[in-house]
Structure 1
Amino acid sequence: MRTSPLSIKRQEFNKSFRGFSAEEVHSFLEKIASEVEELQTENDSTKKQLEEANVQLAEFKRI
């Protein structure tokens, strides 16, 4: 299962006596979620370009 930006943002952790700063963890997760979202958008765009190139290639092969 792919990790989505939303699942990163909503991830929760158990608190412990000497745990991490909740604010720092939240900030880091927001940053990572943003980067994952950007990469997924870029990946989707690249896939679309590849599909279009394959269609054009198929057309050229028919000529």
Structure 2
Amino acid sequence: MSDIYQITITTTNKETFTGKMTRKQPELVNGFVALAQDNGEWRFFKPESVEQFHFVPVVEEEAKE
């Protein structure tokens, strides 16, 4: 099972935001939906503004010798 997930959030305004997070990172922070973006920034969304929260496991490549 993957430890890292590619996450896509679609808002009710049809805006799409993506990032990669581990299952250890919080999905909710102080009542807001949290998303860690690829550049290290975090975005927080009001729960009622989120239409879809999609998790896709990131396949870890095995080390080649």
State the structure with more CA Rg: 1
Normalized per residue, which structure has more helix? 1
TM-score grouping bracket, smaller chain normalisation = under 0.3
TM-score by length of 2: 0.25
TM-score by length of 1: 0.25
